[in-house]
Amino acid sequence: MFRTHNNGELSLKNVNEKVKLSGWVQTVRDKGFVIWVDLRDRYGITQLVFDESRSSEKLMEEARTLGREFVIQVHGTVIERESKNPKNPTGEIEILVENLKVLNQAELPPFTIEDETDGGEELRMKYRYLDIRRNPVKNKLIFRHKMAQEIRRYLSDQDFIEVETPVLIKSTPEGARDFVVPSRMNPGQFYALPQSPQTFKQLLMVGGLDKYFQIVKCFRDEDLRADRQPEFTQIDCEMAFVEQEDIMQVFEGLTAHLLKTVTGKEFGSFPRMTFDEAMRKYGNDKPDIRFGMEFVELSDLVKGKDFKIFDEAELVVGINVEGAADYTRKQIDELIDWVKRPQIGATGMIWIKYQADSKLTSSVNKFYSEEDLSTIAERFGAQPGDLMLLMSGAATKVRTQLSALRMELGNRLGLRKPDEFAPLWVVDFPLLEWDEETGRYHAMHHPFTSPKTEDIPLMETDPGKVRANAYDLVLNGNEIGGGSIRIFDKELQSKMFDLLGFTPEAAEAQFGFLMNAFKYGAPPHGGLAFGLDRLVAILDGNEVIRDYIAFPKNNSGRDVMIDAPAPIADEQLDELNLKITE
Amino acid sequence: MFRTHNNGELSLKNVNEKVKLSGWVQTVRDKGFVIWVDLRDRYGITQLVFDESRSSEKLMEEARTLGREFVIQVHGTVIERESKNPKNPTGEIEILVENLKVLNQAELPPFTIEDETDGGEELRMKYRYLDIRRNPVKNKLIFRHKMAQEIRRYLSDQDFIEVETPVLIKSTPEGARDFVVPSRMNPGQFYALPQSPQTFKQLLMVGGLDKYFQIVKCFRDEDLRADRQPEFTQIDCEMAFVEQEDIMQVFEGLTAHLLKTVTGKEFGSFPRMTFDEAMRKYGNDKPDIRFGMEFVELSDLVKGKDFKIFDEAELVVGINVEGAADYTRKQIDELIDWVKRPQIGATGMIWIKYQADSKLTSSVNKFYSEEDLSTIAERFGAQPGDLMLLMSGAATKVRTQLSALRMELGNRLGLRKPDEFAPLWVVDFPLLEWDEETGRYHAMHHPFTSPKTEDIPLMETDPGKVRANAYDLVLNGNEIGGGSIRIFDKELQSKMFDLLGFTPEAAEAQFGFLMNAFKYGAPPHGGLAFGLDRLVAILDGNEVIRDYIAFPKNNSGRDVMIDAPAPIADEQLDELNLKITE
């Protein structure tokens, strides 16, 4: 036993007790006649004191050799502190040290191990094991653990069974790119790492395990955008003998439970919105509804006034920014520049100010009278003091652009409060989306998602119009996850593969085992998957998932701490029957 | 909602209730005027009844179309059964069906979905999703889930934090063969799948997360022996500021808790045995101590009697088989043949019978007088009616052979009772083992295991004699897992790498990040890993781990259900800068 207590638990109750403590040296304050050392471990900081009048010369000397991050063990007595620190749970006591042992020395760390550190991102990643000593990182990992435990407990209590599905599976070209694993025992053949346990969980439903879940690593070999990881963790779920509503109820319950765990507040029934409505009102299938600024469509009002840009646009749409009428010309120009950046790609933006004195003015005064502006303002529901921002163009494009602006303004105006939570179900997603590049339909969710029964005839006549039994859970403008009711009929599944451009042979080669399973009594089933990394980040009031991963990879998919990936030995390649090409 | 109740919950309490049930057709018994259907789901079986006098002609006709494994939904009324089945929890009621809907038809399954099936291993693996419908398989998966939940709850309650370590890591030639994953973004470079999270958990200790655990998939590209899987699951743990005793206490507590969960019984302190003692008494570092038959060494008694085989042997050692003196000559010959099989490799075996009439006889009467035999019998502690079996040869080899015989007899004599549990700690393992093939020392545990402080000087003079701070937990003759106190000192770790034949450069290339981490204040730490697959199998009274894995691979590492591994597309190979050689 290296310690009788940890560094977060001693208080006035323990005064006069003999204790043994271990940990890292956080700071040493040497006042000559007295030396204070802050001793840190996972649980907190306890102050040690060495004092000329009470400690031996030798002990004072030993204490003076200590440096930051030394690992030490001390024996001593708990005493009441003279000047107490009410901010520290152990701040009323200190340890008068009687014996000091250095368990391990430490070189000066490459950055300070403090809540606010001087280390940059790259450096902290390289020395992630030191970064983890810092409270902000450590607490995020502990928070993640607690959430994962709550999720498992909640689902287990509802009779869900966690089943481990295999990691070494089979590559399917559909979807994102697979990571593959050469098989030494089967030369020329490869396993693939799962992008999700999708087919396995469906097979578990065929197998009768009607409530399945798994917190599971998934893998995607994508060109990494910021804050995407090649390996990530999903809460993966599937249920049999259920309809969409049943699944939504269960996972609304789970999410509300987690929200209550974090906030202490009850969350009633989550609001719902169709995909179409979300796109119309927010230009986005994962709207942040913590704040308003809903889209207002204006095409009918603004056309025919000789303003060519609006006249020629498929859609004119805007948002009302409350209380922003006092934005200066410079501020507005900066916003216009912001939407014209290539990442957003707008060609321009029109503004209308509803001044505090009720006067209406705009950047298109030439074309629109104050009466025109008044009609527009009325549709916006604008009040004196508000600023209306209008964009125009092809409908889908302009909605995306305006959505980006709305989110940016939400951030700038502090409307996206990290301690406020606004869950939302988005439902009735399209089954298919047209891909210009390949000139064919892609599954919006995945090839196993079922169409709404009433839309099945449209699969023949107008596939793009078919709605799916698919749903996403959105939290604070982030997609937490989504799911669907699956096709459980062999014929319908064949038709779906056909729509997606699979030949019967290709479908058989890739999904034969699933189609085959459906012959033997597949129950109606559906499910959902949540991204755990993102969910815990958002529940903790953050959006950067990397902080919630113990050992994340950088944007090149590299672990800079262990320096992986790396070349392997020629013998390994030979055994795998592989050669590297130039 | 496809059902108001599941098929395991209705009883006399529900009589006259209108219910909706769903599930699979287990059996149809058509008596003409009445048809009974057993409806099955994960929770049980409920009997449905269609009755000429109470059901419509149409409904009777529909019921007659049902086949085995059809997925159906029924509406009906709970009624009391005339002939009750006390073996079935729902056996006192049946459902008088008012409405029947076939949700999905089913082809005749390739084997019967019964507790005792007619399907062979290979067929059931190919249709694993049908195999999972059978109670014996389903219940094993549910049992596994419950154990995993208990483990997580127990460790979390003790302040352990589950941290997910990465799956895409770096290949290390030490130990078993790695599975590797080519990196598309870093051409010519590879990730490796972890054989264990060993270095990451040690880095977490350096990072101050002093109680870590993880239930985690690990991977080994080994030539598979029976009942080994290329991917398997570990309960992986590590603690800082602990000594061997602290770790053993925690995991003895966990194991006792699981044993209590399963058996309802309290398990006190687990017995302990040194590696040397285990080898001497059982010829095995994972002895099954549910039964005795301890080894008895006889060299001093049997030598010098002109029996050349014994005279020339390094060791003569035997076991006493209680009550087996009535074995026929044929039975004994069969045992001798058994030990002479190439898998065991003994050259022969000597027997001594202590007959019921107290007479002693043996296969070496020529060399040993009845007095000699009596002295031997005394050392065995044999009683009239016992059979003593003696083997001889090189000490290590003969112990291994006799151990195999002891286990075989334990099985044959029913001494290895599946509902009896005998945990055992084996401690004081050697730090190193000599490998004849490579002519150098290998780490018995792994290169991070610390030597016992008092044995450190032997590292210079007699490395093979150095004992490690290493411990295994053995349950019923199976190694559940093991662990060690790690080296946390950079110098000692260097010395260890040196002993293992690493050049400083090779050690740096492979473990540089760990050695580097040790510079910045590594705490004393240690841990352990249990094999979850094996642990749950044994706790459930089984030894075949494959049954406790939802989708296992066969002995060629192949998933015969999804047919993986498989060739991948040429474009995939091109993207990875790889070529397959002949």
Please list every residue in chain A whose beta carbon sits closer than 8 Å to the beta carbon of residue B559: 166, 168-170
pTM of this structure:
0.95
pLDDT of the residue at B173 = 66
What's the rounded Cα separation, in Å, for the pair A418 and A407?
A: 14
End-to-end CA distance of chain A: 56
Beta bridge partners of B211: B239
pLDDT at B194 over 80: yes
Q: What is the CATH number of domain B291-412?
A: 3.30.1360.30
**Contact between chains at A168 and B231 (C-beta distance less than 8 A):** yes
* pLDDT attached to residue A345: 94
Tell me if residue A536 falls in helix, strand or coil: helix
CB contact under 8 A, A559 and B219: no
Tell me the residues of chain B between 16 and 55 that have a Cβ less than 8 Å away from chain A.
Answer: 22-24, 40-42
Record: contact B523-A103, CB cut-off 8 A: yes
The pLDDT assigned to A438 comes to 84
CA distance A234 to chain B (A): 12
Q: Between chains, do A208 and B22 touch, taking CB under 8 Å as contact?
A: no
B462 is written with which tokens? 């007699």
Question: Which structure tokens are listed for B160?
Answer: 């352990």
Q: Does the model's ipTM exceed the 0.90 cut?
A: yes
C-beta atoms of A231 and B565 within 8 A: no
Question: Confidence band (pLDDT; 50, 70, 90) for B406?
Answer: very high
- CATH number of this structure's domain A12-104: 2.40.50.140
The tokens describing A452, both together, are 């709404």
Q: Which residues of B touch A578 (CB under 8 A)?
A: 578-581
Q: Which of A230, A241, A582 sits opposite B168 (nearest CB)?
A: A230
Q: Kindly report the average pLDDT of chain B as a whole number.
A: 95
Chain A: closest CA distance from residue B208 (Å)? 6
Closest partner residue to B163 (CB to CB) among A133, A141, A167 is A141
Give the nearest partner residue to A246 out of B1, B132, B199, using CB atoms: B1
Which whole number is the average pLDDT over B454-468?
Answer: 94
User: Do A288 and A410 meet the contact criterion of CB atoms below 8 Å apart?
Assistant: yes
Q: What angle do CA A234, A237, A240 make, to 5 degrees?
A: 165
Among A residues 541-560, those touching chain B with beta carbons less than 8 Å apart: 549-551, 553, 556-559
Length, in residues, of chain A? 582
B569 versus B59: the higher-pLDDT residue is B59
**Domain assignments of chain A as residue spans, ordered by start:** 12-104, 138-273+423-548, 291-412
Neighbours of A387 (CB within 10 A): 23
CA angle at B111 for the pair B108 and B116, rounded to the nearest 5°: 135
Chain A and chain B share a number of CB contacts under 8 A equal to 360
Contact list in B for residue A200 (CB cut-off 8 A) is 550-551
Q: Is the dihedral of CA A410, A411, A417, A418 positive or negative?
A: positive
Chain center to CA of A412: 21
Contact B130, B114 (CB under 8 A): no
What is the mean pLDDT of the segment spanning B92-113?
97
Residue spans of chain A under pLDDT 50: none
Interface test with B, best of A172, A190, A222 (most B CBs within 10 A): A190
**Which residue reads 């919950």 in tokens?**
B9
B278 touches chain A (CB under 8 A): no
Position B226 scores a pLDDT of 67
Cα–Cα distance, A567 to A561 (Å, whole number): 16
**Nearest CA of chain B to the CA of A15: how many Å?**
24
Query: What are the Cα distances from residue A18, in Å, to A5, A55, B61?
Result: 10, 15, 84
Chain A: give the shortest CA distance to residue B499, in Å.
22
Q: Which of B27, B102, B515 is nearest to A522 (CA)?
A: B102
To the nearest whole angstrom, how far is the Cα of B518 from the nearest Cα of chain A? 8
CATH superfamily assigned to domain A138-273+423-548: Bira Bifunctional Protein; Domain 2 (3.30.930.10)
Task: Give the type of residue at B290.
Answer: R
Contact between chains at A217 and B164 (C-beta distance less than 8 A): yes
The identity of residue A12, as a single letter, is L
Which residues 479-538 in chain A show a CB within 8 A of chain B? 488-489, 513, 517-524
pLDDT at B228: 81
* B-contacting residues in A 226-265 (Cβ below 8 Å): 230-231, 233, 241-243, 245-246
3-state secondary structure of A153: helix
In chain A, the residue whose alpha carbon lies closest to the alpha carbon of B156 is A149
Element (H, E) at A35: strand A34-41
- Inter-CA distances, A53 with A49, A58, A63, Å: 11, 13, 15
Contact B520 A152 (CB under 8 A): no
Cβ of B180 and A182 within 8 Å?
yes
Q: Name every chain A residue with its beta carbon within 8 A of the beta carbon of B243.
A: 1-2
Nearest CB to B208 within list A24, A242, A561:
A24
Please report the pLDDT score of residue A54 as a whole number. Answer: 94
Whether A472 and A285 have beta carbons less than 8 Å apart is answered as yes
Interface contact A207, partner B, CB < 8 A: yes
Which tokens hold the place of A499?
Answer: 């729509």
d(CA B307, CA B347): 15
Residues of B in contact with A567 (CB under 8 A): 188-190
Has residue B174 got a pLDDT over 70? no
**Per the CB < 8 Å rule, is B129 touching A204?**
yes
Q: Torsions phi, psi of A195, nearest 5?
A: -75, -25
CA distance B18 to chain A (A): 18
Whether A581 and B582 lie within 8 Å, measured CB to CB: no
pLDDT at A512: 85
pLDDT above 90 coverage of chain B, percent: 88
**Residue A563 token pair:** 């320096």
Give bridge partners of residue A100 from the DSSP assignment. A74
B576–A180 C-beta distance less than 8 A: yes
**A561: which chain B residues are within 8 Å (Cβ-Cβ)?**
203, 513
Record: contact B183-A517, CB cut-off 8 A: no
CA-based nearest residue in chain A for residue B557:
A185
pLDDT for res A174: 64
User: Distance between CA B561 and CA A163 in Å, rounded?
Assistant: 17
Tell me which DSSP letter residue A564 carries: B
Residue pair A138/A113 in contact (Cβ under 8 Å)? The answer is no
Instruction: From chain B, pick out residues whose CB is under 8 angstroms from the CB of A581.
Output: 574, 577-579
Q: Measured between CA atoms, how close is A84 to chain B, in angstroms?
A: 26
Q: Is A572 on the interface with B (CB under 8 A)?
A: yes
Q: Which two tokens stand for residue A218?
A: 């998934």
Q: What is the pLDDT of residues B197-240, one digit of tens each?
A: 999 999 999 999 999 999 999 999 988 776 789 999 999 999 99
Of B182, B521, B553, the CB nearest to A69: B521
Query: Of A145, A167, A563, which has the smallest distance from its Cβ to B170's Cβ?
Result: A563
Q: Is B149 on the interface with A (CB under 8 A)?
A: yes
Residue A17 CA to residue A13 CA, distance in Å, equals 9
What does the alpha-carbon distance between residue A46 and residue A54 come to, in Å, rounded to a whole number?
A: 19
Question: CA-nearest residue of chain B to A44?
Answer: B208
Q: Does A166 touch chain B (CB under 8 A)?
A: yes
- The order of strands in the sheet holding B478-485 is B161-162, B211-219, B231-240, B525-531, B478-485, B470-475, B423-427, B272-274
Q: Tens digit of pLDDT for each residue in B2-26?
A: 999 999 999 999 999 999 999 999 9
Residues 6+ apart with CB under 8 A from B371: none
The model's pLDDT over A153-180, given as tens digits with 9 standing for 90+, comes to 999 999 999 999 999 999 876 678 999 9
CA separation (Å) from B449 to A221, B209, B226, B428?
35, 20, 29, 12
For residues B350-374, give the mean pLDDT: 94
Nearest CA in chain A to B564: A170
Residues of B in contact with A219 (CB under 8 A): 167-168
Within a 13 Å sphere around the CA of B258, how many CA atoms are in the beta-carbon half?
Answer: 30
B568 interface with A at CB cutoff 8 Å: yes
Is some CB atom of chain A closer than 8 A to the CB atom of B180?
Answer: yes
